[in-house]
Amino acid sequence: MSAANRPTLVAGLVAILRRDLLLAFKRPGDVLNPLFFFAIVSTLFPLAIGPAPEQLVAIGPGVVWVAALLAMLISMNGMFLGDFEDGSLDQLILSPQPLPLLALGKTITHWLVSGLPLVLVSPLIAVTYQMPFDTIGVMMATLSLGTISLSLLGSVGAALTVGLNRGSALLSLLVLPLAMPILIFGARTVALAASNDVVSAGIYFLAAYCVLGLSLAPFATAAALRISNE
Amino acid sequence: MTELLRGSGLTLLRGDRCLFRGLDFALHAREALQVKGPNGSGKTSLLRAVAGLLDLEEGQVTWRGQPTLGHRQAYCDELVWFAHRLGFKADLTLVDNLRFEAGLRRTRMDRFDEVLERLGLGRLTRLPLRSLSAGQQRRVSLARMLLADARLWLMDEPFTNLDAAGQALVLELIDAHLAEGGACMLASHQPIVLQGTLKSLVLQ
């Protein structure tokens, strides 16, 4: 009977990345929603507070980071919802590919679709806050590391709450406390960069947080998915 | 005949209700096992527990003599799951959906065209799955089973949404699978007739 080879781990990862990116491409609304939210929230602040440059420079890093965090929170809820509802989750759990690998694949897609666009759009927002040019690089670096960590945290939270009816409120409660260090270090590092202080400590912290998430979150997500899918 | 799947002393509670207690069954190669019982008797739960999607209160399921809990990968490598929720993405085409499966498990992509032709899906490859009828979508799910190089088929209500020809086709496919040395466990309340060995397990 046995004539086909078992697909490799890489083949499994590529397959789920390909499928989820294709799905995101077919439903651009889901992708653009967090991006619009991010852009709107961060452009509304200057309108409400007033265009004084020193004020904008002072609040800029904080506003960009809060908007990015909230935009990521909005997008987290749907990470496993579709798979749970149409039975794909059963198929993923019952495939011989390790579930943490598939969970990692879904998390990577989530970041590519929800996190990366925020990072790419952020320089435009930074300009409206009169951020100096060299600060923009630091902001993009912290946002990249921070959004990856948020996607990883979100995958654990979304996996835990996917079977619940009103999971989204609970999801925010679960994820926000763990996301606080990211927000604090991210926003502070950008503020330090704006006042020409040393920024490496903050970036190291965010990188460490990201690596920690990368090594633990896929396993936690896989365990949570098995429980939620019962 | 080699014994493939065995459940011993299976007990499952849902909430404070006991669905079954101390249930035993064995499934050999070239055999099918039909789980019967009225609605709500726990047919689907039994299948999900056997697959490893639900935790049992007591008892264990073994595959080729090894408990499935500790040897999940070896077990999943040889099983394919067919249920009411198909596990396909409605926005993607049949080809995209089935190609994704090839990344998950051993798949006979060399048989691809032949299988689609056999199931009458040959002309539907370019359409998103949501534009197919419910019965056609079930047929795509059958295509997954035929393409998967799996020894054990777990099927929950395989006849829903299928026309008479489709139902006959399912039976025919199961028979062919048994003849190749496979095994099939299916939950269905309707009487079925197979050429091969058919055992049954009745839940109260």
pLDDT digits 0-9 by tens, B166-184: 899 999 999 999 999 999 9
* Nearest CB to B105; choose among A27, A86, A95: A95
pLDDT at A29 over 70: yes
Residue A81 belongs to domain spanning: 9-228
| B75 to chain A: closest CA residue | A96
pLDDT digits over A130-149, tens only?
888 889 999 999 999 999 99
| β-pairing verdict for B17-28 and B3-14 | antiparallel
Burial A167-182 (b: 16+ CB within 10 A, else e): bbeebbebbeebbeeb
Q: Please give the pLDDT value at position B84.
A: 87
Q: Please give the pLDDT value at position A206.
A: 95
In a domain, A30, yes or no: yes
Q: Residue A195 and residue B47: Cα distance in Å, rounded?
A: 63
In a domain, A118, yes or no: yes
**B116: closest CA of chain A, how far (Å):** 18
Q: Please give the pLDDT value at position A183.
A: 95
pLDDT digits over B81-122, tens only?
998 889 999 999 999 999 999 899 888 888 888 889 988 888
**Percent of chain A beyond pLDDT 90?**
66
Q: Residue B148 and residue B101: Cα distance in Å, rounded?
A: 8
Mutation choice for B interface testing from A80, A90, A91 by most B CBs within 10 A: A91
Q: Please give the pLDDT value at position A186.
A: 94
Mean pLDDT, to the nearest integer, of B143-148?
Answer: 91
How many structural domains are present in chain A?
1
Q: Please give the pLDDT value at position A3.
A: 59
| β-pairing verdict for B17-28 and B66-67 | unpaired
pLDDT at A1 over 60: no
In a domain, A45, yes or no: yes
**B110: closest CA of chain A, how far (Å):** 9
Mutation choice for B interface testing from A22, A95, A102 by most B CBs within 10 A: A95
In a domain, A4, yes or no: no
| A20 to chain B: closest CA residue | B89
Look at A54-63, A184-193, A203-212, A214-223 and tell me which has the smallest mean pLDDT: A54-63
- Partners of B27 in beta bridges: B5
Determine contact, residues B5/B185, Cβ cutoff 8 Å: yes
In a domain, A2, yes or no: no
ipTM score: 0.92
Q: In what order do the strands lie in the sheet with B17-28?
A: B17-28, B3-14, B58-63, B66-67
In a domain, A191, yes or no: yes
pLDDT at B16 over 90: no
Instruction: Find the chain B residues whose C-beta atoms sit closer than 8 A to any C-beta of A.
Output: 51-55, 73, 76-77, 79-81, 83-92, 96, 99-110, 128, 149, 151, 180-182
Q: Please give the pLDDT value at position B195.
A: 87
Look at A23-27, A157-161, A164-168, A170-174 and tell me which has the smallest mean pLDDT: A164-168
Q: Please give the pLDDT value at position A197.
A: 87
Among A2-11, A48-57, A177-186, B82-91, which range has the highest average pLDDT?
Answer: A177-186
In a domain, A76, yes or no: yes
pLDDT at B132 over 70: yes
Q: Please give the pLDDT value at position A49.
A: 84
pLDDT at A208 over 90: yes
Contact B149 A2 (CB under 8 A): yes
| B146 to chain A: closest CA residue | A1
Q: Residue A80 and residue A138: Cα distance in Å, rounded?
A: 32
In a domain, A3, yes or no: no
pLDDT digits over B37-57, tens only?
888 888 899 999 999 998 888
Scanning chain A, the segments in alpha helix (DSSP H) are 9-26, 28-49, 53-76, 81-86, 88-93, 99-110, 116-128, 133-161, 167-194, 200-228
Q: Please give the pLDDT value at position B40.
A: 83
Mutation choice for A interface testing from B48, B75, B85 by most A CBs within 10 A: B85
Q: Residue A206 and residue A141: Cα distance in Å, rounded?
A: 10
